[in-house]
Amino acid sequence: MRRVKLLVAAVAVGTLLVGCGEQAGAERDAAGGQAIDSGSAMGSPQADPVALIGSWTVAQADGGAGDVLRLASDTDGGLLLFGRCGVRMGTWRADVNGLFVADATGSSVSDNARGCGPDTEAAGGWLDRAVAFQVDGDSRVLLDGQGMRVARLLPGAKPTPGPNLLPSLAAPPTVTDEVRRALAPAAALPATVTPAGRDALLGRWVPADGRRDGSQAPHVELRDDGEWRGSDGCNGQSGRWVAGPDGALLATAGPSTLIGCDNVPVGSWLSAACRAGLDGQVLVLFDAQGKETGRLRRDS
């Protein structure tokens, strides 16, 4: 793996945090694994995504116990995962009712750590499975699609910046009024569209106006494993996504190639969206203010 140096404040690999206030479905209690009411777990003020901002010691996670997860606004480093073999950087999104999605991509591997080297992949597969969160006292609990605990996040972590990271990116992140506004609930879908559920979103989508048809057409493919892949017509793009009732949609966007062309920013449409609705056969994406970010049609 090519070493990625983190000598500057986190490279922008996604959108700013966006608040999306949707109701998630029934989940399971993080400690006991019993089903609990979505209204109590995912629809209460305790699911405020601002509560995720901080530096957390990862516990009860398969392959990630002892790591440090720092969650901040994109202007304050975004997502940083400090593991034994180095630091992974990425983006995350969450909403006021408990949906959560994260994508840790770029990495800086320490050659000095025992068993680590340039080709070592830092642990973080557990993070891909997280699609929801809960507040449990001082800790935070990440849940998978079946409502089972993926990890418990314990407060007060103090990551070590190391030689390839600015010290400010290991400091405790701050919560500002701008961050609170960014994580506020999103506007409801307009009455003219039907909320798009997860099953309706699965598959490959292209711009509704038919721009750049053919093998190099801009597109996004929403996969059942929570990953999406696509292209703006020239550059490959990818990230992770999660959907909930009432058209809730959160997606991250990882790094992209930088080939210049007359492109269509379908990946940006997706990563800026908070809700998705169907206008007939057309998928319409909306941002936190209720403005359209893009229109797509299923690729037949």
pLDDT above 50 for 91: yes
pLDDT above 60 for 210: yes
Confidence of residue 285 (pLDDT cuts 50, 70, 90): very high
Q: What angle do CA 89, 289, 182 make, to 5 degrees?
A: 40
pLDDT above 90 for 161: no
Confidence of residue 249 (pLDDT cuts 50, 70, 90): very high
The contacts of residue 13 (CB under 8 Å, 6+ apart) are 78, 89, 90, 91, 103, 105, 106, 253, 254, 255
pLDDT above 60 for 204: yes
Highest mean pLDDT among 73-82, 177-186, 269-278: 269-278
CA-based torsion, 213, 216, 220, 224: positive or negative: positive
Confidence of residue 140 (pLDDT cuts 50, 70, 90): very high
Confidence of residue 11 (pLDDT cuts 50, 70, 90): very low
What would the pLDDT profile of 212-233 be if each residue is shown by its tens digit?
Answer: 555 568 999 999 999 999 998 8
Secondary structure of residue 267 in the 3-state scheme:
helix
Q: Which residue has the higher pLDDT, 106 or 58?
A: 58
- Look at residue 27 in the predicted model and tell me its pLDDT: 36
* CATH for the 27-182 domain, from 2.40.50, 3.30.1460, 2.40.128, 3.30.450: 2.40.128
Q: Report the 10 Å Cβ neighbour count for 114.
A: 7
Domain ranges of the chain: 27-182, 194-298
What would the pLDDT profile of 16-75 be if each residue is shown by its tens digit?
Answer: 454 564 333 333 333 333 222 333 334 344 489 999 999 999 999 988 899 999 999 988
31 to 60, 134, 147, 148, 192: CA distances (angstroms): 11, 11, 11, 9, 41
Return the CATH number of the domain spanning residue range 194-298: 2.40.128.270
Q: Is 5 exposed, middle or buried (0-12, 13-18, 19+ CB in 10 A)?
A: exposed
Same topology for domains 27-182 and 194-298, yes or no?
yes
Confidence of residue 4 (pLDDT cuts 50, 70, 90): very low
Return the percentage of the chain with pLDDT > 90, whole number: 59
Q: What is the pTM of this model?
A: 0.82
The contacts of residue 107 (CB under 8 Å, 6+ apart) are 1, 4, 86, 87, 88, 89, 121, 122
- Look at residue 20 in the predicted model and tell me its pLDDT: 63
pLDDT above 80 for 186: yes
Of 72-81, 106-115, 285-294, the range with the lowest mean pLDDT is 106-115
